[in-house]
Amino acid sequence: SPMSDRLRLAFAQIKPVWLNREQSLARVAEAIEEAAAQGAALVAFGEALVPGYPFWVERTEGARFEDPIQKDFYAHYLDQAVCIEQDHLAGICALAARYRIAIVLGIIERPLDRGGHSAYCSRVYIEPDGRIGSVHRKLVPTHEERLVWAPGDGHGLVVHGLGKFTVGALNCWENWMPLTRAALYAQGEDLHVALWPGGAHNTAEITRFIAKESRSYVLSVSGLMHADDINPTLPHCDQLIANSSGWLANGGY
């Protein structure tokens, strides 16, 4: 029932097809269909899932000025980013409407209203009727993320009604920022979704303390990425693969 005091929620901790937008969106679509088949009212995905977290930066001397490797990686990243104005999420929105399921999705966004030259770590909330309810661009990228992600703003710090619940969501380290949490609490949030790239060092304590602080239900959802998932056809992949091993994002376990 739309006004039930219970919701079935799905945590889609999946791998992207790293730095490939269309194939990553295909994996998202599969997860949505699986969640819907199990009766989920909402399905949440990790931070920056489409087309993936910028793992190359700390493994290829990402701060080197005028480095051609960094230029090539960033150009590819921007090319594979999600442009909402170009309907890159149209298929995902259609699935939301078909199955009447809400979706919280982490993307790398290339918005045309910012000139189309900057990449933002964005959280998209898609309503069960298929409308994009809001897009929140991560306020302050963390550490090496600042080399590739532009700083966002508070425009997307909004909540959404879902049955009897009020849903809000934040990207990664924003969940540690008191004022971003307070902005959602003040709007009546009682179901909080925390998106992460994937690592227990981020998620070990915060899920519990947000729940205690806000008196809310809290979902913590991360991504997955293994060194073996790096596509050998990517630019400069030899250097990246040589400097990568094991799990780059382990889902937060």
Q: Which residues are catalytic?
A: 47, 138, 172
User: What end-to-end distance do the CA atoms of the chain give, in Å?
Assistant: 33
Alpha carbon separation from 3 to 42, 155, 208, 247 (Å, rounded): 14, 28, 26, 41
CA–chain centroid gap for 241, Å, is 24
The DSSP line for 8-21 is -EEEE-----TT-H
DSSP letter for 142, please: -
Query: Helices marked H in the chain — which ranges?
Result: 21-37, 68-80, 90-99, 178-185, 200-203, 206-214, 237-242
Judge whether 195 and 44 are in contact, CB under 8 Å. Answer: yes
- Phi then psi dihedrals of residue 184, to 5 deg: -80, -40
